């Protein structure tokens, strides 16, 4: 399990302890240090340097000299996943932007910890981001890349880390916009001060096969074959995945409060979920148009089912053969109309529709992917991420597209 951008530190032995050790013990210690040193530091090739903590098996990848990256990229794994799942993608980012980015593969939510619930995992991720930021004082910008459940975890974490940029708001109100000497007043008015995430400038928020609308609604889990009976049975079995299962199937109704994913489709008094998303310069949703048996096309691309492109109209990209459609949609509701959640009534609310409305108040870049013809198509959910460099290698062009259009 790896952490990109963080270095592991081994414990030190005090001088008094060393004096008390026998000659044989000192030889053993020296031998261990030499072996650890050899295995911990590899020769640089190009601008990429890989360091490894041999005790914990945590790899850290960072830029070559001078190591003053300005852009922090946080990668978040999905359910029962680990930081290792992002190893391939992290290397591609570092090859493309060796001196500009530091890539951190989150390691606080792995394996069975992914059953703890989106909120608990989001809190852990937020704390981890703050810790990583302190280790890299040169960073000024931040981006997130989340696969599957990782996209939801990232959405919760950025709400925790969101800060309104009061300084820019004040300068915007008292600046040259109000001056008669300022000629281009219209453009000045349209420029809205953006907030910050963990004190950094938010740039890219990217999700890959993420169930933004949950897994409860019709045809959102393809393996259930669109059967209402199976979908209801799956919702009743959500406890099998712990609190996370309840969140995904929107069965977490406590004290009359709406399900967490429903809450995350709007701003609340304490957590500004939509404002946090809005602060990013771009939001991107990569979605499998077919063969993903876990997350449906509609929920991962943030569309109503009748808005999905007709498959016969999809065409393969010349450079990225598994990408069949790229489209950017503008926000459907003016920014000033983004408001807090309405009163929740489970009997009258169409939760799926309300969630789509809330999340599509912002503009999204939608990238549709199709692994038709690939021998790895039945593993599309993991192939889109290149979770394994061998069994999911066909998704390399999708990852490369993500890297090539990344905004520094």
Q: Which residue from 299, 156, 292, 273 is spatially nearest to 214, judged by alpha carbons?
A: 299
378-401 burial string, b = 16+ CB within 10 Å, else e? ebbbbbbbbbbeeebebbbbbbbb
Structure-token pair, residue 367: 């990238």
Q: What is the 3-state secondary structure (H, E, C) of 357-399?
A: HHHCCCCEEEEEECCCCCCCHHHHHHHCCCCCCCCCHHHHHHH
CA 46 to chain centroid, in Å, comes to 28
Is pTM beyond 0.85? Reply is no
pLDDT value, residue 296: 96
pLDDT value, residue 345: 53
Spatial separation of the C-alpha atoms in residues 264 and 155, rounded to whole Å: 8
pLDDT value, residue 237: 80
pLDDT value, residue 226: 78
pLDDT value, residue 406: 98
pLDDT tens digits for the chain (408 residues)?
444 444 434 444 444 443 344 444 444 445 544 444 443 333 333 334 333 343 444 444 444 445 789 999 999 999 999 999 999 999 999 999 999 999 999 999 999 999 999 999 999 999 999 999 999 999 999 999 999 999 999 999 999 999 987 555 555 455 555 444 445 545 554 455 679 999 999 999 999 999 999 998 887 888 877 787 888 887 778 778 999 999 999 999 877 789 999 999 999 999 999 999 999 999 999 999 999 999 999 999 999 999 999 988 899 999 999 999 999 886 655 444 445 545 555 554 689 999 999 999 999 999 999 999 999 999 999 999 999 988 999 999 999 999 999 999
Do the beta carbons of residue 9 and residue 3 sit within 8 Å? no
């Amino acid at each position: 399990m790896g952490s990109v951008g963080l270095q592991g530190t081994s414990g030190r032995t005090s001088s008094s302890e060393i004096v008390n050790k026998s000659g044989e013990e000192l030889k053993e210690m020296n031998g261990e240090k030499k072996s650890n040193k050899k295995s911990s530091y590899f020769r640089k090739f190009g601008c990429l340097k890989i360091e490894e903590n041999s005790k914990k098996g945590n790899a850290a990848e960072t830029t070559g000299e001078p190591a003053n990256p300005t852009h922090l990229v946080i990668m978040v794994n999905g359910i029962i996943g680990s930081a290792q799942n992002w190893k391939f993608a992290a290397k591609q980012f570092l090859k493309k932007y060796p001196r500009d980015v530091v890539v951190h593969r989150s390691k606080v939510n792995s394996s069975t910890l992914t059953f703890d619930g989106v909120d608990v995992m989001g809190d852990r991720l937020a704390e981890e981001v703050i810790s990583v930021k302190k280790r890299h004082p040169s960073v000024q910008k931040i981006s997130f890349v989340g696969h599957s459940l990782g996209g939801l975890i990232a959405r919760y974490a950025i709400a925790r880390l969101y800060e309104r940029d009061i300084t820019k708001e004040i300068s915007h109100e008292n600046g040259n916009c109000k001056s008669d000497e300022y000629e281009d007043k219209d453009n000045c008015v349209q420029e809205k001060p953006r907030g910050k995430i963990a004190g950094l400038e938010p740039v890219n928020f990217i999700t890959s096969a993420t169930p933004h609308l949950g897994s409860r609604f019709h045809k959102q889990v393809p393996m259930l074959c669109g059967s209402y009976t199976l979908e209801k049975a799956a919702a009743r079995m959500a406890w099998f995945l712990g609190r996370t299962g309840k969140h995904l199937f929107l069965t977490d109704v406590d004290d009359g409060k709406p399900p967490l994913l429903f809450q995350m489709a709007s701003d609340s008094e304490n957590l500004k979920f939509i404002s946090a998303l809005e602060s990013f310069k771009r939001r991107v949703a990569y979605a499998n148009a077919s063969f993903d048996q876990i997350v449906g096309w509609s929920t991962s691309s943030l569309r109503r089912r009748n808005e999905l492109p007709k498959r016969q109209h999809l065409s393969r990209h010349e450079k990225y053969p598994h990408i069949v459609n790229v489209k950017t949609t503008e926000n459907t509701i003016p920014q000033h109309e983004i408001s807090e959640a309405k009163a929740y009534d489970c009997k009258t609310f169409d939760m799926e529709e309300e969630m789509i409305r809330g999340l599509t108040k912002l503009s999204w870049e939608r990238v549709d992917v199709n692994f038709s013809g690939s021998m790895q198509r039945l593993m599309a959910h993991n192939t889109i991420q290149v979770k394994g460099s061998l069994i999911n290698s066909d998704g390399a062009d999708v990852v490369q597209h993500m890297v090539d259009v990344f905004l520094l």
